[in-house]
Amino acid sequence: MSDQNASIRKNLKVSMIVIGDEILNGRTTDLNGSWLAKYLFKMGLEFKALRFIHDDIDEINQALSASLDESDIVITSGGIGPTLDDKTKNTLANFFQKKIIERQDVADIVTNNYIQFGRSWLPSQNHYHFFPEDFIATNNPRGLAPGIVYFEKSRNKLMMAGPGVPREFTEIVEKEFFPLIKKYFSDRFQENYQTVLRTIGVAEETIFFELCPTLWTELEKFGKVSSLPHTIGIDIVISYHGNLNEHEKTRADIQKLVQNSALAKHVWQYGNKPLNEMVLELAIQKKVTFSLAESCTGGLVASKITDLSGSSSVFMGGVVTYANETKIDLLGVKPKTIEDFGAVSIEVATEMAAGAILKFKTDYAVSITGIAGPTGATADKPLGTVIIGFATKNKTQARRFLFPGDRIRRKERFSDMALMTLLKLMNDEI
């Protein structure tokens, strides 16, 4: 653990090549790269590099050659479908100087892939069963095209080509590719852990240059340190190798260090759980219900909550009251309050929360009204102003915040601040 870099270098290295014109011309956002980064980290493998290239034979050859030089394992995504722009299979065969032949074992796999969708496959439909000799074909648990794998014995390199569609790619990597990695490199796994300090209400620079000038160096004794700005705060991540016991000791040591520092009061979580999960788990644990009244976030807070299975047991529902009339009709906000103070005001946010808790008969209600932009700002209410209101059985209140960003990013920040309010509310911290 003391020689951090040495221990990292012992790891298995993986490079990824994302093949597809649609990614490089910006039509599609790649999701497989970021997913694989998370997955490999969890599995204790080192993600060496990620290349995005066109559906082009020369580019595939070049990227493959560079990736195989630097890594033990190369995973590609994209270009294994049946259409004419799918060039991966032929290019890989040529690269490893293997002939493409008609293979019955591959035809069987393709037949199975089709069966899982209740469909039948005929060799006349496409060329899936023409496959490079000595290559391994794998099942595709959520798609039709087989995975394409080759282990180069002479250099101990494993090449694996999967589909570009994210739901197919993630599943083929977990169910088919990872077992093969374990098989070919069984003795080289090593565990990797992180301790995350999630802070709120303090800028990155303030933490490391004013509040705790020695913190970075002290944390580096435990492992590699990164500082990551998030929607409404800064996460500090410390990564290290070791077993689970060592990890638990390291995490406790880090926690002790930080709890005795000026940063302590800004840390809202020693861990890595998304805010919506924290809210849902706490509500379930405390057996309480909540509801939402959203104006400027337009349903995003409710959507974040309902992203999680099990949310229906504690989240009774919400209203998106974008228009003033609906604030009045659905939540009982008084027209005069809107007239006197404006829709974005402490007073309206308070009445919205009070209306929601009554309407949905919940233990808590949170309301959001603000100016996401790009229009709607006034002299005393600049773009990014948001009022988060809340109601419990005993009190109703609201607080004002200001966040940077464009419309979309402000909606994100406003929503996370609403979730944070709900979390603090259930923890009796406000």
**Beta-strand relationship, 100-102 and 73-77:** unpaired
Euclidean distance between CA atoms 30 and 163, whole angstroms: 12
Using CA atoms, how far residue 2 sits from 100, 220, 221, 243, 425, in Å, is 50, 10, 8, 14, 41
Minimum Å gap between C-beta 413 and a second copy is 11
* 49 near a second copy (CB under 8 A): yes
x/- binding map, residues 200-219, to a second copy, per CB under 8 A? ----xx--xx------xx--
Amino acid identity for residue 387 in this structure: I
How far is it, in rounded angstroms, from Cα 422 to Cα 17? Answer: 42
Residue 84 or 379 with smaller CB distance to a second copy: 84
Distance CA 252, CA 223 (A): 14
Site for a second copy in 128-167 (CB under 8 A): 142, 144, 165, 167
Q: How far is the CB of 229 from a second copy (least distance, A)?
A: 6
As measured in angstroms, the least distance from the Cβ of 153 to a second copy is 27
Minimum distance, C-beta of residue 429 to a second copy, in the bound complex (Å):
26
Task: List the interface residues with a second copy, window 285-324 (CB under 8 A).
Answer: 292, 294, 296-303, 305-307, 309, 311-312, 315-323
Which one, 248 or 325, has the nearer CB to a second copy?
325
Identity of the residue, 119 or 395, whose beta carbon is nearer to a second copy in the bound complex: 119
Q: Which of residues 395-424 bind a second copy (CB under 8 A)?
A: 404-409, 411
Measured from the Cβ of residue 146, the count of other Cβ atoms closer than 10 Å reads 30
Cβ nearer to a second copy, comparing 227 with 269? 227
53 backbone dihedrals φ, ψ, rounded to 5°: -135, 165
Radius of gyration of the chain (CA): 27
Of 56-75, which residues contact a second copy (CB under 8 A)? Answer: 59, 63, 66
DSSP category for residue 347: H
In degrees, rounded to 5, the angle at the alpha carbon of residue 104 between the alpha carbons of residues 102 and 107 is: 90
Contact residue for a second copy among 10, 42, 249, 256 (CB under 8 A): 42
Q: Beta strands of 288-425 (E only): which ranges?
A: 290-294, 315-320, 364-370, 385-391, 396-402
Residues 75-134 close enough to bind a second copy by CB under 8 A: 81-85, 125-126
Cα angle for residues 133, 134, 140 (degrees, 5° grid): 90
Among 7, 111, 190, 227, binds a second copy (CB under 8 A): 227
Measured distance CA(120)–CA(122) in Å, rounded: 7
Closest to a second copy by CB, 98 vs 127, is: 127
Say whether residue 4 binds a second copy (CB under 8 A).
no
240-259 residues in contact with a second copy (CB under 8 A) are none
Instruction: Provide the minimum distance between the beta carbon of 37 and a second copy in the complex, in angstroms, as a whole number.
Output: 4
When binding is defined by CB under 8 A, the residue of 211, 225, 346, 377 that contacts a second copy is: 225
Within 362-381, the residues that bind a second copy by CB under 8 A are 372-375
CB of 98 to a second copy, least distance (A): 26
Closer Cβ to a second copy, 40 or 106, answer by number: 40
- 232 interacts with a second copy by CB under 8 A: no
Helical (H) or strand (E) element with 351: helix 346-360
Q: 8 vs 151, which CB is nearer to a second copy?
A: 8
How many helices (H) and strands (E) would you count in the chain? 17, 17
Residue 382 interacts with a second copy (CB under 8 A)?
no
Nearer to a second copy (CB atom), residue 381 or residue 411? 411
Closer CB to a second copy, residue 22 or residue 246? Answer: 22
Q: How many CB atoms lie within 10 A of CB 115?
A: 11
Paired with 148 in beta bridges are 137, 161
Establish if 226 lies at the interface with a second copy (CB under 8 A): yes
We find the least distance from the C-beta atom of residue 10 to a second copy, in angstroms, to be 16
Is residue 329 close enough to count as binding a second copy by CB under 8 A?
yes
Dist CA 160 CA 138 (whole Å): 10
CA distances (Å), origin 395, targets 8, 292, 392, 425: 52, 16, 5, 11
Smaller CB distance to a second copy: residue 242 or 317? 317
